[in-house]
Amino acid sequence: MHGSPDCELSSRSEAMAPNINSTLPLLLLFLLFTLHLSSVSAWKKEEFRTCNQTPFCKRARSRKPHSSSLFATDVAILNGALTANLRQPPPESPDQDQIKPLLFTLSVYQNGVVRVKIDEDPSLGPPKKRFEVPDVILPEFESTKLWLQRFQTETVDGDSGPSSVVHVADGYEAVLRHNPFEVYVREKQGKRRVLSLNSHGLFDFEQLRVKQEGDDWEERFKGHTDVRPYGPQSISFDVSFFDADFVYGIPEHASSFALRPTRGPGVDDSEPYRLFNLDVFEFIHDSPFGLYGSIPFMLGHGKARGTSGFFWLNAAEMQIDVLGSGWDAESGILLPESGSRIDTLWMSEAGIVDTFFFIGPGPKDVVRQYTSVTGMPAMPQLFSTAYHQCRWNYRDEEDVENIDSKFDEHDIPYDVLWLDIEHTDGKRYFTWDRVLFPNPEQMQNKLAAKGRHMVTIVDPHIKRDESFHLHKEATSKGYYVKDATGKDYDGWCWPGSSSYLDMLNPEIRSWWSEKFSLKHYVGSTPWLYIWNDMNEPSVFNGPEVTMPRDALHYGGVEHRELHNAYGYYFHMATSDGLVKRGDGKDRPFVLSRAFFSGSQRHGAVWTGDNTADWDQLRVSVPMILTLGLTGMTFSGADVGGYFGNPETELLVRWYQLGAYYPFFRAHAHQDTKRREPWLFGDRNTELMRDAIHTRYALLPYFYTLFREANTSGVPVMRPLWMEFPSDKATFSNDEAFMVGNSLLVQGIYTERAKYASVYLPGGQSWYDLRTGIIYKGGTTHKLEVSEETIPAFHRAGTIIPRKDRYRRSSTQMANDPYTLVIALNSSHAAEGELYIDNGKSFEFKQGAYIHRHFVFSDGKVTSSSLVPKASKTLFSSACVIERIIVLGHSSGPKKALIEPSNRKAEIEVGPLWLQRGKSAPVLTIRRPNVPVADDWTIKIL
């Protein structure tokens, strides 16, 4: 959340300063100021650096292809890895710096992962150890290393010297080309490249030096000085994705899903994609500008080969260019015909080269490979996958009670009520404003009685107030981040003067996590969960609204080196706190705004402070798709748009789309009008209720998908090409998406839309989710749309489990029966899954869950278990399946036979919910009441 008038005032006046004539009357100034507060489009571009204002970026971008003269020597196998020294020819004149050799290491891991590290050689005495990001790579990843025994040599590309080749996986090998230095993964057969580094010779590694007389290393931006005591230390290199039609990934940006070229013919003056966690006030909807989180992981995908991925574990500011074909022409050197190759340029201010190549070849293989390094997404608690109601701020206990009861009055389920910063005593987190919230436990217990939960906000800035115990303790223990002079860093945020805990330090994280115990967090209950905002970190008076790069962390690490991971460590510590609070029994729920690679292990994220307009509704889809593709599957955008007042139609459309976001929360800025779903007349209440009901009915399906993500990394919300990887028409489609493999959803992004063009992929048919009307795949349909719903389709050949009874909350649906919706394909078959556990604890990790496989074929539906055979059942459910709907079943039989119980069930043809004439044939097996946990078969007679 962002948008305090105080912060506005300070930053605005600074930005305005050069333009203000000193004779300008005060009145006009005041007018300008108030005007600004109410204006909608207020992105303050000049607050933030461009690449040109960022020396390392400017330098890297001006390099010409083949300017790197590195070559590899001393190639050997050491500790199961291929190692070498990277050298440069001796300098031509004696006053040029002698470059010390760099250490190169290539290791191979199971399932097609290649890791390449390049760093300074510690034995050559660099002035400082460069920062390697800790606690992101899974400890168990190291155990999947394949111990290399040997390498082959080979002459490639007409080189005069050799290249070294090692085996990677079936059909793939990695090549270290010695001179010129290049590293790539290729297919064994035909030697086609998949991914390469330094093919264009843009590699550059600024080594740390001791400051000499006359070196001016300081950098200034907007009145801030970065002392840069270690001087330039950036790294840049090119990476090529072969046989790729598009590249994707590297969140977070509000831009298209398929990344557009930022340089090359026909691209005017674009910034590179920036990865630098920033609190951007009113971000615009189409920009490569860096937002709240950073995941330096990119995927390439093409029809010819499939998918590959590249990840650079580095938490410093990064800038990435996507180079349009022909980009190299400007240098005068034309590279050989590129085919569908996509070249990219990666630039980082500090750190080391620690990169991972993922060979795919399928899209799901690449996400599995990436999450094998950075971790599988955590399994959320069931309640957190339902609907959340948030606003800055629900004022007091009476307001909370009123909102809560209104949901019941209007028959709208919800699971979580959120409290923003105003619930605290003066923005001191872990406290309550005792006037507004005199009985916080009682308030939470009342919600809990309806199966509901509460979330409160806990931000990383600590109010510098001598009477605040947290500040006292953190100060005396020396737990704050230090400024460049070694004093506790003091920045301005919600509470005013604030300091920031040094979350890089594991001891401080552990101390922090204790603060969430019921004893320490007075007024909290086991039904309370947490929201981490402002953890980029946001500092209102800092450079680019964040912490100075020369601030100091644990171990002498500079903030510039770990900036993009600061929020990650804070999220981790908070999430650990909730686990500890429940003695390790219950899964945590923590929503974070900032994120980094690996954040998927710690909880959910959202896309930050969006705006109530149609373009922002539209861009939410590519943003969430990108997050999912890069591991962060539990994500969503603020429904309704955070800033501004949505028109009613936009709000309704947002609910209709948001109901399919993996994380579904409505939120609003404090200056906006109230916008709870019942405030816009009966008809609109009905439409929003309907959208929320859709989500609740689909919760069993969503939860099953969260479990799939938890075991495979494959996201809940997926781009179409993840399911249809060879259908080119899907590659740049970011208006539609898949929920799992069975549902296709297309948002409506314009006002008063009468029609929508919807591309339905594949050779399969699709059933309209509401009407059952059947549509052909592999073509674009022009569909009439109504206010009732956005287009959504059930893919033929799949089965979706639902719960169709509406309660107050997901928790209250625990014992409700299921409905199975079977969508038959042209061979009269379909299959699907259902995952169930207690929705709360970690016991599923020991096997306490139900996982069913449903198959329809030969006129019968069969349920079997996907749980590996265990000696005893650790989790059971008394729930039954109360209804089975079979879409596309053309015969009109009368009975269904259930085995093994040998009972009969009624069959009804054409149930009520299919009203229109054009519906596909459908039949419903009524009340089969088969236990969801059991094996059974139902034959249609």
How far is CA 331 from each of CA 2, 66, 198, 887, rounded to the nearest angstrom? Answer: 43, 10, 16, 59
- In angstroms, the CA 259 to CA 249 distance is 8
Considering the complex, state which of residue 587 and residue 718 has its C-beta at the smaller distance from ligand NAG: 587
Considering the complex, state which of residue 607 and residue 633 has its C-beta at the smaller distance from ligand NAG: 633
Q: Choosing from 536, 649, 727, 882, which is the catalytic residue?
A: 536
Sign of the Cα pseudo-torsion (321, 324, 328, 329, in order): negative
Q: Choosing from 119, 219, 279, 609, which is the catalytic residue?
A: 609
- Shortest Å distance, C-beta 903 to ligand NAG: 26
Contacts of 530 (CB under 8 A, 6+ apart): 455, 456, 457, 458, 516, 574, 577, 578, 588, 589, 590, 591
- In angstroms, the CA 742 to CA 831 distance is 10
- Shortest Å distance, C-beta 588 to ligand NAG: 8
- In angstroms, the CA 841 to CA 380 distance is 10
- Shortest Å distance, C-beta 847 to ligand NAG: 11
- Shortest Å distance, C-beta 844 to ligand NAG: 8
- Shortest Å distance, C-beta 233 to ligand NAG: 35
Annotated catalytic residue 47? no
Closest CA to 382 of 916, 922, 835: 835
How far is CA 97 from each of CA 89, 94, 128, 207, 208, rounded to the nearest angstrom? Answer: 11, 8, 18, 10, 11
Residue ranges in 213-266 assigned as alpha helix (H): none
Buried b (16+ CB within 10 A) or exposed e, 331-348: eeeebeeeebbbbbbbbb
- In angstroms, the CA 393 to CA 421 distance is 7
Q: Choosing from 533, 576, 723, 734, which is the catalytic residue?
A: 533
Count the Cβ atoms, other than its own, within 10 Å of residue 929.
14
Considering the complex, state which of residue 41 and residue 826 has its C-beta at the smaller distance from ligand NAG: 826
- In angstroms, the CA 779 to CA 214 distance is 66
- Show the tokens assigned to 500: 């920031």
- Shortest Å distance, C-beta 827 to ligand NAG: 4
Considering the complex, state which of residue 288 and residue 598 has its C-beta at the smaller distance from ligand NAG: 598
Contacts of 514 (CB under 8 A, 6+ apart): 520, 577, 580
Look at strands 604-606 and 635-636 and give their pairing: parallel
- In angstroms, the CA 743 to CA 801 distance is 12
- In angstroms, the CA 828 to CA 921 distance is 12
- In angstroms, the CA 595 to CA 606 distance is 10
The residue type of 844 is: F
Annotated catalytic residue 415? no
Count the Cβ atoms, other than its own, within 10 Å of residue 45.
11
- Shortest Å distance, C-beta 484 to ligand NAG: 39
Sign of the Cα pseudo-torsion (8, 251, 645, 388, in order): negative
Considering the complex, state which of residue 612 and residue 867 has its C-beta at the smaller distance from ligand NAG: 867
- Shortest Å distance, C-beta 685 to ligand NAG: 35
How far is CA 247 from each of CA 294, 306, 709, rounded to the nearest angstrom? Answer: 16, 12, 22
CA angle 365, 369, 373 (to 5 degrees): 165
When CB distances to ligand NAG are compared, the closest residue is 797
Annotated catalytic residue 609? yes
- Shortest Å distance, C-beta 184 to ligand NAG: 31
Considering the complex, state which of residue 680 and residue 706 has its C-beta at the smaller distance from ligand NAG: 706
The residue behind tokens 């706190």 is 577
Contacts of 622 (CB under 8 A, 6+ apart): 255, 256, 257, 734
- Shortest Å distance, C-beta 851 to ligand NAG: 13
The residue behind tokens 């201010």 is 349
Considering the complex, state which of residue 678 and residue 842 has its C-beta at the smaller distance from ligand NAG: 842
Considering the complex, state which of residue 445 and residue 862 has its C-beta at the smaller distance from ligand NAG: 862
Q: What residues line the site for ligand NAG (CB under 6 A)?
A: 376, 378-379, 587, 710-711, 764, 797, 825-827, 829-831, 845
Considering the complex, state which of residue 574 and residue 656 has its C-beta at the smaller distance from ligand NAG: 574
- Shortest Å distance, C-beta 575 to ligand NAG: 10
Count the Cβ atoms, other than its own, within 10 Å of residue 781.
16
CA-based radius of gyration for the chain: 28
- Shortest Å distance, C-beta 798 to ligand NAG: 7
Considering the complex, state which of residue 67 and residue 846 has its C-beta at the smaller distance from ligand NAG: 846
Considering the complex, state which of residue 368 and residue 653 has its C-beta at the smaller distance from ligand NAG: 368
How far is CA 345 from each of CA 116, 203, 298, rounded to the nearest angstrom? Answer: 17, 9, 12
- Show the tokens assigned to 130: 């460069």
Helix, strand, or coil (residue 297): strand
Sign of the Cα pseudo-torsion (625, 631, 637, 642, in order): negative
Considering the complex, state which of residue 378 and residue 458 has its C-beta at the smaller distance from ligand NAG: 378
Question: What residues are labeled active site?
Answer: 533, 536, 609
